[in-house]
Amino acid sequence: MSSGDAYKRCLDSNHQWADKVAKEDPEFLNTQAKGQAPPILWLGCADSRVPETTILGCKPGDVFTHRNIANIINPTDISLLSIVQFAVFHLKVKHIVVCGHTSCGGVAGSLANSKLDILDIWLQPLRALREKYADELESMDASERGTFLAKKNVIAGVETLERIPTVIDAMRERGVTVHGLLYNLATGKLEEVEFDEDEKTANKRVTAFERK
């Protein structure tokens, strides 16, 4: 199928979808047009194989979303910070999710040493993680390395988010929770990425980054 055919097919599918929704739930689209109150902020990878609403089984309006190459959470990314500020402060989301995935091209690029032009700058946080965990990575095969680094990237993203003052306030005042997930392309299932942080460490972070 040509790219033009794919575009036309998508437009046709959209009209079919809209007609189907209007028939099955006549008020749904009108309600959507009046505003949004999603409980989840999803920070994921731009990979076409990881569409958050689809893999979560959610409807439009359920998930507020920001996606970029390799789901990198960078504290100087104005686009990301704007999304987080709007979602947390204005939409009052209850959950923030950082989601990576297996077979990630950005992770693979960070594990290789090819020149990637502007992506070399973007992927620097991932390369820094590769450097940090070089000894562990050395003992793994290619597939294991990719999954390992993807999980470490998710953890790094969670830690970065928990240093943003708006998120710190929301966690303390409204019980907002930050989660790390990894999507397995081969199974279609999400796995929680766990990491240990004791109370003393958490308190140190809050003390250093909160604003009063």
Residues of each annotated binding site for Zn(2+)? 45, 47, 101, 104
Question: Which entry of 49, 95, 127, 205 is annotated as an active-site residue?
Answer: 49
Confirm whether 58 is a catalytic residue.
Answer: no
What's the CA gap between 131 and 72, in Å, rounded?
A: 16
How do beta strands 189-192 and 40-45 pair?
unpaired
Enumerate the H helices of the chain as residue ranges: 3-24, 28-34, 52-56, 78-85, 105-111, 118-122, 124-132, 134-138, 142-161, 165-174, 199-209
CA dihedral for 9, 29, 80, 200, sign (positive or negative): negative
Question: Which entry of 10, 12, 15, 45 is annotated as an active-site residue?
Answer: 45
Question: Which entry of 66, 99, 101, 145 is annotated as an active-site residue?
Answer: 101
Annotated binding-site residues read 45, 47, 101, 104
Confirm whether 117 is a catalytic residue.
Answer: no
Confirm whether 130 is a catalytic residue.
Answer: no
Edge-to-edge order in the sheet of strand 189-192? 63-68, 40-45, 95-101, 177-184, 189-192
Question: Which entry of 66, 104, 130, 145 is annotated as an active-site residue?
Answer: 104
Question: Which entry of 47, 66, 130, 145 is annotated as an active-site residue?
Answer: 47
3-state SS, 35-63, equals CCCCCEEEEEECCCCCCHHHHHCCCCCCE
Report phi then psi at 102, rounded to 5: -70, 160
What's the CA gap between 138 and 133, in Å, rounded?
A: 9
188 to 24, 55, 184: CA distances (angstroms):
27, 7, 6
Active site residues: 45, 47, 49, 101, 104
